[in-house]
Amino acid sequence: MSVSRLSPSVSRPHEEQASPAVQSRIGIRDVTLSYGALQIIGGISLDIAPGETVSIIGPSGCGKTTLLRMLAGLARPTTGEIVLDGQPVSGPSRSVAIVFQDYGKALLPWRTAAGNVSLALEARGCPARERPEIIRDLLAKIGLSRHADKYPSEMSGGMQQRLQIARCLAQEPKVLLMDEPFGALDAMTRQALQDEVLALTAATGATMVFVTHDLEEAIYLGDRIVCLQPNPGRIGRIVDVRLPKPRDQLLTREDPEFLRLRRDLYDLIKDDHQ
Amino acid sequence: MNRLSFRKLALGVLTLVLFILGWKLVTDARLISPIFFPGPERTYAALVKGLSGGPLLAQTVETVERMLYGWLLASAVGVLLGALIGISRRARAFIAPTLELLRPLPASAMIPVAIAFLGFSDQMVLVVIAFGALWPMLLATIHGFAAMEPRLYEVSAVLGLSRFQVIWKLALPSAMPMILASLRLGLTISLVLAVVGEMLASRAGLGQSILAASRSFRSADLFAGIVILGAIGLCGSRLLSMAERRLLRWQAVHR
């Protein structure tokens, strides 16, 4: 397998092949999760189409991150099941990549940027002589070409998070899970990364599930927004985002539809807090 | 930065000079009988004489060799065993209590046991050194492996790294700072036990030579041996520090 799977020309036929029965890339079927007597997730069902970007928002403690961890195979549902391309998810796999919020802990501090990307290639048995070229391509794609030999401790937060995304792309995933990835970054870096991630998913046809606290970020990135409610975590509402693509930091955010969505979601979240 | 380290070095040397000067003052004033306490000049003379043509050079080599072999043996066993125990939570639960019981045993108390099994031999001294120096490395490796960032286990699961890859590429490098610090501690212990072993089992080396000098009131020779032991300790620790800085380049920014 090579990086070519990330190009749109290759990924599109894949989508068309899917029969109507298994058209969803991710299927969440009546999923609950309890720790002892405490129910964290109380029955969630959701289908996510190939290439779709779903934003997940909700007050803290509503199980956003838990849901994402179950999608990644890092946590098992107590009842119900999660299906990827028709196959039940029983554990972590290379086809589902996850970008953690705490990039500082998720990167290997003793490896350079190139070395960190290389880890994903080593894991999938990519021959050593093919690695440098793939690493170069990926770092270029995410704007880190000039920093290939830097250690994470020498990089800014934004650069480290870019690096984590590059390593996830090296997995050649079908699904990209993002757990509040830009929560710790400043506003400008945040917006730049939002646009980069949108461009990447558009180019690769990857499906994305994006957990965030930030309503505007959820609207800006999402094709759909899933609002979770707490105690136990369940779906409160699903909102379709009908904003033109590609999105633009100024035009999209000034669009009346954007402002209307923001008002709606704000009211919704506020109600949950009361 | 360079000026600062130069100043630090200058201050360090100044302190050393003051120390030697104080030593000279004490001996010149004859506060302690020169039979037991030689001045720096006599010690230096004994050092030069012992190293050029005297037996001191051969004895130094003997002791350094003993120390290094024991240390290498302890390092290999400690890191390997520590990795095996540290990587598995179950192994830690099984073995940790036993280790806690064995660890505080003074290695010198093991010498009679070692003598009973191996007699007054070089192997006996080697085993005692390795046993004593093993603990810091074993425990540091176990703790280093156990303290790996949990997030990295999740990353390795998602990337699909094999168990061997997790040990070799994640756990070992992340335990490296602790392991390297323990290697330095282990070297100091090795030197101590090499000297004690030589004294008790009367094997050739600085330990034996110091003991002999003390018994025949050759205080200058005694002090010459001690100075060499200090130098060995200093050089070993310095060399390992340099290796540490090189291997842990990635940490440089934090420091």
User: CA A227, CA A224: separation in Å to the nearest integer?
Assistant: 10
Q: Do B253 and A153 touch (CB under 8 A)?
A: yes
- The two tokens of residue B190 are 């090795």
Q: Do A110 and B253 touch (CB under 8 A)?
A: no
Residue where the block lists tokens 């990519």: A126
Count how many domains chain B has: 2
> 3-class SS at A182?
coil
Count of residues making up chain B: 255
Clarify whether residues B183 and B239 are in a common domain. Answer: yes
pLDDT above 80: residue A9: no
> 3-class SS at A92?
coil
pLDDT above 70: residue A225: yes
Q: How many CB atoms sit inside 10 A of residue B53's CB?
A: 9
Out of A98, A110, A154, the one facing B158 most closely (by C-beta) is A98
Show residues of chain B in contact with A179, CB under 8 Å: none
The dihedrals phi and psi of A186, each to the nearest 5 degrees, come to: -75, 165
Clarify whether residues B69 and B123 are in a common domain. Answer: yes
Domain that includes residue B101, residue range: 38-254
pLDDT above 50: residue A167: yes
Chain A nearest C-alpha distance from B238 (Å): 23
* Domain range list for chain A: 3-95+174-273, 109-172
pLDDT above 80: residue A55: yes
Mean pLDDT of the region A100-110: 93
Residue where the block lists tokens 């192997």: B123
pLDDT above 50: residue A14: no
Q: Which of residues 230-249 of B touch A (CB under 8 A)?
A: 248-249
Percentage of chain B modeled with pLDDT above 70 = 98
Chain A nearest C-alpha distance from B152 (Å): 6
Q: What is the pLDDT of residue B252?
A: 67
Q: Is B147 on the interface with A (CB under 8 A)?
A: no
Comparing alpha-carbon positions, the chain A residue that sits nearest to B150 is: A105
Clarify whether residues B10 and B133 are in a common domain. Answer: no
Q: Is B255 on the interface with A (CB under 8 A)?
A: no
Clarify whether residues B80 and B174 are in a common domain. Answer: yes
Pairing, β A175-179 against β A207-211? parallel
User: CA A78, CA A33: separation in Å to the nearest integer?
Assistant: 5
Q: Do B157 and A92 touch (CB under 8 A)?
A: yes
Q: Is B100 on the interface with A (CB under 8 A)?
A: no
Q: Is A34 on the interface with B (CB under 8 A)?
A: no
Clarify whether residues B16 and B50 are in a common domain. Answer: no
Clarify whether residues B51 and B19 are in a common domain. Answer: no
- B237: Cβ–Cβ under 8 A, 6 or more apart, which residues? B184, B187, B188
Q: Is B155 on the interface with A (CB under 8 A)?
A: yes
Clarify whether residues B6 and B65 are in a common domain. Answer: no
Q: What is the pLDDT of residue B35?
A: 82
Number of H helices, E strands in chain B: 11, 0
A82, β-bridge pairs: A28
Clarify whether residues B154 and B119 are in a common domain. Answer: yes
Identify each DSSP E strand in chain B by its residue range.
Answer: none
**What ipTM was estimated for this complex?**
0.84
Residue A135's alpha-carbon distances to A4, A144, A206, B213, in angstroms, are: 13, 10, 19, 65
What own/partner pairs with CB < 8 Å and gap ≥ 24 does A237-243 have?
A237/A268, A238/A46, A239/A264, A239/A265, A243/A219
Q: Which of B71, B81, B78 is nearest to B125 (CA)?
A: B71
- The two tokens of residue A223 are 């094709």
Tell me the residue type at B81. L
Chain B nearest C-alpha distance from A171 (Å): 7
Chain A nearest C-alpha distance from B151 (Å): 6
Q: What is the pLDDT of residue B104?
A: 83
Q: What is the pLDDT of residue A6?
A: 44
Out of A74, A96, A122, the one facing B154 most closely (by C-beta) is A74
Show residues of chain B in contact with A73, CB under 8 Å: 157-158
Comparing alpha-carbon positions, the chain A residue that sits nearest to B177 is: A110
Q: Is B176 on the interface with A (CB under 8 A)?
A: yes
CATH number at residue B227: 1.10.3720.10
Q: Do B155 and A96 touch (CB under 8 A)?
A: no
Clarify whether residues B20 and B58 are in a common domain. Answer: no
pLDDT single digits (tens) B33-79? 888 888 898 999 999 988 888 889 999 999 999 999 999 999 999 99
- B248: Cβ–Cβ under 8 A, 6 or more apart, which residues? A110, B176, B177, B180
Q: How many CB atoms sit inside 10 A of residue B28's CB?
A: 11
Q: Is B254 on the interface with A (CB under 8 A)?
A: yes
Higher pLDDT, B149 or A61: B149
A210, β-bridge pairs: A55, A178
Say whether domain A3-95+174-273 belongs to CATH 3.40.50.300: yes
> 3-class SS at A72?
coil
Q: Are B139 and B99 in contact (CB under 8 A)?
A: yes
Q: How many CA atoms lie within 13 A of B104 on its CB side?
A: 3
Q: Is A115 on the interface with B (CB under 8 A)?
A: no
Which of B151, B158, B254 is the best mutation test for A, with the most CBs of A within 10 A?
A: B158
Mean pLDDT computed over every residue of chain A? 88
Q: What is the pLDDT of residue A4?
A: 42
Show residues of chain B in contact with A123, CB under 8 Å: 156, 159-161, 165
- The two tokens of residue A64 are 């956003």
Higher pLDDT, A123 or B252: A123
Q: Do B155 and A153 touch (CB under 8 A)?
A: no
Q: Is A88 on the interface with B (CB under 8 A)?
A: no
Q: What is the pLDDT of residue B112?
A: 87
Clarify whether residues B199 and B246 are in a common domain. Answer: yes
Chain A nearest C-alpha distance from B49 (Å): 48
User: CA A127, CA A183: separation in Å to the nearest integer?
Assistant: 36
User: CA A76, CA A82: separation in Å to the nearest integer?
Assistant: 9
What does the DSSP assignment read for B32-77?
Answer: S-TTT---HHHHHHHHHHHHTTSTHHHHHHHHHHHHHHHHHHHHHH
Residue where the block lists tokens 């168990």: B163
